[in-house]
Amino acid sequence: MLNAIHSFLRARLKELDRAQEGAVFLLMLAGILIVFISAMMMHDAGDAARDKIMLQNSADTAAFSQSVVKARSMNMISYANTSKRVFYAYTVVYFNAYQALITSLAIYTGRCLKIFPHIPSCIRMAIGAIQLTMETIELVATNLPYMMGRAKTEVKSLNKYQEYMRDVTPWWGYVENMMRGISNGATVTAAWPPPPGDLIKIPDQITSALGFIDGVLGSSIVEDYIPEHTDKIDKLPLKRGSGLSGAGGYCFEMVGTFEHLMAMFEHYLRSDSFPKGISKEGQTIGIFIGLNVLPLASCAIASAMYGDDVLDFRVDNGVVGGIFSGVSPNAWMQSTSNLTFAYQAGGKRSGIQRDRFNVIGSDHNSKPFYAAEGYWSMARSEFVFGNGSNSGPLSGVFGSFNIFNGIITNLMGSPHMWSPSWTARLRPVHLPGESLGTSFQGNPVGMKAVYMDMVPYLALTSLVGLLDSNFSLSGAVKDLMYLYAVNASMSADRLQGIQK
């Protein structure tokens, strides 16, 4: 009986050993597990890619919006330049007309007071004397008080408006950058160069103090312990002329402009012709035109009346001032572009998504290089000067020589501040051979120095992230540490490899 049972069990076990159902079942379980893990990885990768794309869009939007604000300010300052030149041109033309009347009357008087008087000249002398008397009364009683009063006040107001736009634009653009970035999905954004303020001066002051100590003691505290940073601040590349040189250049640039020609034409239409006056006499008109071609005396009068307030804000490309101090490489591109960093909190991504695979075993640690949870992205934008947006034959003519800008301005070329032709665009983060200037310590600027300039603003504005459910303060600190390490590897000679 026992032998029969034993034989039966052995036979059944041999049958099980020969069957493949168990192996196939185990293989199916392994395949399902592989597919499940792959699906989780693709889901996480999809989330990461979607968040990264959205963050890049946020960075692009923030950077572009900041340059749009700057281009708008440049255009508004250009409008104000033109408005100031209208007041200046009318004043210059008025006093040129007054001088032409006096000069023409003097010529007629000389012809009349000869031994054999020239009768037509005597008639014109008499009429001209009456007209000059009336013009002088009008100048003293009406026109001069207006020019010294309301007109001067208007010029001052326009100049204050330009100064306000110049000073407020860096912060206006920075706030626009931050708000546009946040509204498009970023937790926080920051721009370089940072806006002016006391916050940016603190590292410079500390570095200067420690540098003095190094010089006295022969130590190397700054080199060993102070990270590289720059003293760059965001500002519009503008300057206003001043003094005699500024007034002289402003006068000659006005000649032949639309405002100047308009004032001359209006004077001609409003002038009285003979016999009511001698303003439209050929001799007077000739003198008037000559004085407007070389309006030295009238420009001096207008400059004395309005002062430096009437002078234009013009593009500062650093060339004139750099003749003696040296022009830094890419100074123009540095002053017209901004680099934007965008950060998105990762919602403890490092812990949640990696813990899903802990059944296999942990393959990471809590060091900052492996604990980064959020995403970072960069974008760069600039505002540029365009000769016009119209297409066709007229665009080609006015693009090279625009009658509204004046003769001197056209000869000097562009960019200039007489046309509202400034616009914004995105640009590569770094161009081959491009320089970001020098750091406060005197070395070529790399991404480490750029990042150190932005850290105070990132730290302050990251408090906005407290309103985000995905934000973690400890995670943000780790992300800041991680980004510092990444940027420290991108020195000035390695910037060419940076892409979006």
> Global pTM?
0.78
Residue 174 has pLDDT above 70, yes or no: yes
Q: Which residues contact residue 54 at a Cβ distance below 8 angstroms, ignoring those fewer than 6 apart?
A: 184, 185, 344
Amino acid identity, position 119 = I
26 within a domain of the structure (yes/no): no
Look at the chain and report how many structural domains it folds into: 1
Whole-angstrom Cα distance, residue 161 to residue 141? 30
Cβ neighbours around 481 below 10 Å, total: 15
Does residue 1 lie within any of the structural domains? no
pLDDT, tens digit, for every residue of 20-37? 666 666 777 778 888 877
Q: Is the dihedral of CA 237, 240, 241, 243 positive or negative?
A: negative
The DSSP-derived string for 310-356 is GSPEEE--SHHHHHHH-PPTTHHHHHHEEEEEEEE--SSHHHHHHHT
Residue 401, pLDDT score: 47
Q: Tens digit of pLDDT for each residue in 229-266?
A: 677 888 898 888 777 777 888 888 888 888 888 888 88
| Residue 15 pLDDT greater than 70, yes or no | no
Q: Which of 29-33, 86-90, 266-270 has the highest mean pLDDT?
A: 86-90
Higher confidence at residue 221 or residue 81? 81
| Predicted pLDDT of residue 387 | 60
Better-scored residue on pLDDT, 64 or 260: 64
Q: What is the mean pLDDT of residues 188-198?
A: 85
In a domain, 383, yes or no: yes
User: What is the rounded average pLDDT of the residues 104-132?
Assistant: 84
Mean per-residue pLDDT of the chain: 77
> Domain containing 70: what range?
45-196+233-497
Phi and psi at 422, nearest 5°, equal: -85, 140
Q: How far apart are CA 57 and CA 66, in angstroms?
A: 14
pLDDT digits (tens, 9 = 90+) for 424-464: 999 888 887 777 877 767 778 888 888 888 877 777 777 76
Q: Is the residue at 218 inside a domain?
A: no
Domain assignment present for 106: yes
Whether residue 173 has pLDDT greater than 90: yes
The predicted pLDDT at position 154 comes to 92
Domain membership of residue 165 (yes or no) is yes
Summarize the confidence of residues 303-317 as an average pLDDT. 87
Lowest-confidence segment of 83-97, 162-176, 325-339 by average pLDDT:
325-339
How many C-beta atoms lie closer than 10 Å to residue 64's C-beta?
22
Residue at 6 is within a domain: no
Distance CA 487, CA 483 (A): 6
Span 374-384, average pLDDT? 87
Which of 155, 482, 163, 145 lies closest to 341 in space, CA to CA?
482
- Over range 380-404, report the average pLDDT: 56
Say if 401 falls within a structural domain. Answer: yes
The larger pLDDT score, comparing residue 25 to residue 388, is at 25
Any idea of the CA torsion for 61, 63, 64, 69, to the nearest 10 degrees?
A: 120
